[in-house]
Amino acid sequence: MYKQFNSRSRGDRGNFQSRGSFRAQRKGFGGRRSGAGRVAKFFDPTSVIFSQKTSSTVIEKYININSFSDFKIDEKLKRNVLDRHYGAPTPIQDQSIPQILENKDLIGIANTGTGKTAAFLIPLLDKVIKDRSQKVLIVAPTRELASQIRDEFFTFSRGLGIFSALCIGGENINRQKQELRRNPNFIIGTPGRLLDHVDSRSLRLDDCASVVLDEADHMVDIGFLKDIKYIISLLPRVRQSLFFSATIDGKVKEVLNSFVKDPVTVSVKTRDTAENVKQEVIKVGHQGQKINMLHELLIKQEFEKVLIFARTKHGVQNLSDELIKRGFKADAIHGNKRQSQRLKTLDKFKRSSINILIATDVASRGLDIPNVSHVINFDQPESYDTYIHRIGRTGRADKSGVALTFVS
């Protein structure tokens, strides 16, 4: 019933929208209008051949240059980092943190789940500790990723007296304005809501001396290209610019050209999919078989923490309702739910209060959900990139994982 596979060619990128038309449609997760106005074309995993070899030179086991205790950062910050019981820095952390501490512009290229958030938060917090007038802007493609970055910020900044504002859609804008009036050192948000604050003059960007674009390729993919260019135009000329992305091609280069100056490039990406993610296809005879086959999988002991992807908001909710009816601890996140509901559901999944989460593709990029044992593509992804980002939710932090795709 199972067939292993991988992919060697990329799917097409999505269309790009103007700032005006995009913002008029801005709803749901970080502003994406899921599936509207598009012809559905899906990535067929059976059309490609699985290869056990990496797509580039084989790299031996990484040997760290630094430990967290070696980094020349404030002692209170260092204690907060060590209190997280981090082991050795990940490659992206090991190579990026010293460069950022030296105030260099940086391009960080790494697979998802490699610790990019800590790679920029730790040195930027140290920068603010040393100069409390410093302001940091962090831009992320989705509300959930922005919220996750702020959660990490809270952990590392404990007891340091450094404040932040979270500017994302789906949350009370007046409460965000109150946070901004406190003159926080860190401003974290999605492009659309950040520009809402710029338009209402509750936010200025010309005093942000450090700027991070996180998951930049995804921001371009979902139509934020013009928003990002506009944000960059509002920044001070003299600044530290940090750019993190899984890929750098096509339109992403347009952002890079105007964003970084004499950057250091740190690339620790060796292949699109992690070697420790086992990929399989499950063939089904007809659509009606899928839910029963899914049920048979989920009752197996090894399916400890499962993230399931479906194509539409309606399909996600129906599947969640059906699994709950069958006795599973499941819940759903999609664009028809309030932001507070989605964050609460994600938190339940992270804490394992539920062990099955059903989602649209808005959850497939950037979220760091620990110990996901399986990703199941109940509906096929629409492109190779979407597939890669979905299955990247498992096999994180050097743990093993399984990705299953239902194919009719």
Report whether pLDDT(4) > 70: no
**Which residue carries 């990002």 as its tokens?**
228
DSSP, collapsed to helix, strand or coil, labels residue 106 as: strand
User: For residue 273, what pLDDT is reported?
Assistant: 57
User: For residue 37, what pLDDT is reported?
Assistant: 34
Kindly report which listed range (36-50, 63-77, 371-385) carries the lowest average pLDDT score: 36-50
Q: Going along 82-185, which residue ranges are E strands?
A: 106-109, 136-139, 164-167
Distance between CA atoms of residues 330 and 313, nearest Å:
15
User: For residue 52, what pLDDT is reported?
Assistant: 31
User: For residue 274, what pLDDT is reported?
Assistant: 58
**Which residue carries 């097409």 as its tokens?**
12
Average pLDDT for 235-244: 96
pLDDT tens, position by position, 214-230: 988 888 878 899 999 99
Strand 186-189 versus strand 2-4 pairing type: unpaired
Most confident region among 53-62, 285-294, 312-321 by mean pLDDT: 312-321
- What's the burial of 355, exposed, middle or buried (CB within 10 Å: 0-12/13-18/19+)? middle
User: For residue 284, what pLDDT is reported?
Assistant: 87
Query: At the top level of CATH, which class does the domain 68-267 belong to?
Result: alpha beta
Which tokens hold the place of 201?
């003059």
Helices first, then strands: H and E counts in the chain: 14, 14
- 68-267 and 2-55+272-407 share a CATH fold: yes
Under the banding of pLDDT at 50, 70 and 90, the label for residue 7 is very low
**Among the four given CATH numbers 3.90.1150.10, 3.30.9.10, 3.40.50.300, 1.10.287.130, the one describing domain 2-55+272-407:** 3.40.50.300
pLDDT tens, position by position, 84-142: 877 789 999 999 999 999 999 999 997 667 889 999 999 999 999 999 999 999 999 98
Report whether pLDDT(190) > 80: yes
13 or 68, which is more confident: 68
59 or 196, which is more confident: 196
pLDDT tens, position by position, 271-283: 555 568 889 999 8
Kindly report which listed range (177-186, 297-306, 350-359, 387-396) carries the lowest average pLDDT score: 387-396
Distance between CA atoms of residues 87 and 296, nearest Å:
37
Average pLDDT for 338-361: 90
Q: How far is CA 75 from CA 68, 78, 126, 180, 208, in A?
A: 11, 5, 10, 28, 25
pLDDT tens, position by position, 364-406: 555 678 899 999 999 988 877 788 878 888 887 678 899 999 9
User: For residue 112, what pLDDT is reported?
Assistant: 66
Average pLDDT for 143-163: 95
Closest CA to 275 of 396, 370, 100, 194: 396
Q: What is the identity of the amino acid at 341?
A: Q
391 or 51, which is more confident: 391
User: For residue 38, what pLDDT is reported?
Assistant: 35
Closest CA to 361 of 116, 42, 49, 117: 42
Closest CA to 361 of 33, 11, 111, 22: 33
Sign of the alpha-carbon torsion through 310, 116, 342, 205: negative
Average pLDDT for 69-78: 94
Q: CA 404, 276, 149: angle at the middle one, nearest 5?
A: 90
Which tokens hold the place of 230?
């506009």
Which tokens hold the place of 134?
């410093």
Q: What is the identity of the amino acid at 146?
A: A
Q: How far is CA 317 from CA 140, 294, 309, 324, in A?
A: 26, 16, 11, 11
Distance between CA atoms of residues 3 and 281, nearest Å:
5
DSSP, collapsed to helix, strand or coil, labels residue 103 as: coil
Under the banding of pLDDT at 50, 70 and 90, the label for residue 209 is very high
Distance between CA atoms of residues 263 and 165, nearest Å:
27
Report whether pLDDT(34) > 70: no
User: For residue 59, what pLDDT is reported?
Assistant: 39
Q: Is 309 left (phi over 0), alpha (psi -120 to 50) or beta?
A: beta
Tell me what percent of the residues of the chain surpass a pLDDT of 90.
54
- What's the burial of 9, exposed, middle or buried (CB within 10 Å: 0-12/13-18/19+)? exposed
Which tokens hold the place of 310?
């479906």
**Domain ranges, ordered by start, for the chain:** 2-55+272-407, 68-267
Q: Which residues pair with 241 in a beta bridge?
A: 211
Most confident region among 193-202, 256-265, 334-343, 388-397 by mean pLDDT: 193-202
